[in-house]
Structure 1
Amino acid sequence: MPVRVGVQVQPQHANFEGMRAAWREADALGADTIFNWDHFYPLYGEPDGKHFEGLTTLASMAEVTERAQIGALVICNSYRNPELVADAHRTIDHISGGRAILGIGAGWFQRDYDEYGYEFGDAPFRLRHLKADLPRIRARLAKLNPPPVGRLPILIGGSGPKVTLRLVAEHADMWHSFGDAEAFKTKNDILLEHCAAVGRDPSEIERTWGVDDDNVLEHVDDLVAAGVEHVIVGIGGDGKGYDLGQLRELVAWRDRVNA
């Protein structure tokens, strides 16, 4: 299977036009995927800096790109009714011409919860809700008229060994986490056990992996050797826009690997 590469254009510390320009540039560079995230405040840098809501931003991304798949790493399950998450992504899939990915996770950033009035609870509480809501998302996708343009893939983010990776085995078309190659191998072995337990072919799940440092090419060969199929670099705003130099390097590396 060819290696794929993507970019997370983090919707913080930038003007909206800067994000829009970055999506277009990433698409033109040949990124396989373009992602945002789903938070209400920046995760690093000035805590009250510029930031934009994820789902409406994703709809804009769908409109101005042409070839890359698009999605969020990841939509927080706590912030929206699961039927709404399904319907919004179906709509975004149509806006994009069938390029949407439904990325979802249990949530973790307490400030978002506190400021916007959601119940934070604890990790088991949030995971119980994700477990209950994933079948609701699939059921709603099956009912919508019109349906998604194609088979709208579900990506689950996280690597908790007991619950999250079990949910990946049961529901996901793509699995996303981050760390070094050894971390991937450890978590992937657990995922393989869950797949065996539920009778799932693990080759049906694309392994996507996040890298977030200035020397992305130092890690990618080890990750791919370990079994990662899709490498995604995260890039934050610089006040106005984004420097996609790391993505440019990653695309060139992908093309060499896949030649």
Structure 2
Amino acid sequence: MLTIAFPALAFDTNCYVLAPAAGEECVIVDPGIGVEDTLREVLATHRLRPAAVLLTHGHVDHVWSVTPVCGADTAAYIHTDDRYRLVDPLGQSNSGLAAMLEQQFGSRASWAEPSNVVEIRDRARLTLAGLEFDVLHAPGHTEGSVMFGTDGVPDGVADQVDVDRTMLTGDVLFAGSIGRTDLPGGDHGAMLRSLRDVVLPLPDTTLVLPGHYHATTMAHERTTNPYLRDLPA
């Protein structure tokens, strides 16, 4: 599976592009702040055509570029419980974020809702760009946080580590940490339940592609991540 990852210009949010191979349709995951230029280069270099945009949750640092990336035709997929966040993600953020974006990019921050939004639910199976994704609802960071799992692994990775499946975890699980739960819509109790019931059952051979920081594996996180290791029974 062709997999390209690069950070957004703010908050180091990971944007992912996945496709069966170069020259095919692709899926874009979490197009954050200021990713449009890099994304255009990636698509042109690998001759990729966007078939869909997957959103792990509705925070502004993960969805900011979804509307220009989708254009008029490409659908954005988001869990039903986070759908409301696409109405005005900037207005739902802290008051200083708009000023920060204006200072960084030199223009007043504005938002337009994507025209084609598909609401998804737990355990849905999506077939997009020749790839299949399982949707796992894992609330806690936000009400509608999800993880997207696929049986493919990035080209060359299986030769280096023992993995046979990929999970895009958004801000549910990071290498050595988890997403914060003190923002509006966050719920620490729900996060603990998601970690226990949704994350921990993932096989050790799962490659974890998180919303921030570097990739990891479930085998590594199960033994080293304090939020998983110290979960209450």
TM-score range, shorter chain: 0.3 to 0.5
Point out the structure with the larger helix share: 1
> What TM-score do you get using the length of structure 1 for normalisation?
0.32
Point out the structure with the larger strand share: 2
**Greater relative contact order (CA < 8 Å, ≥ 6 in sequence):** 1
> What TM-score do you get using the length of structure 2 for normalisation?
0.34
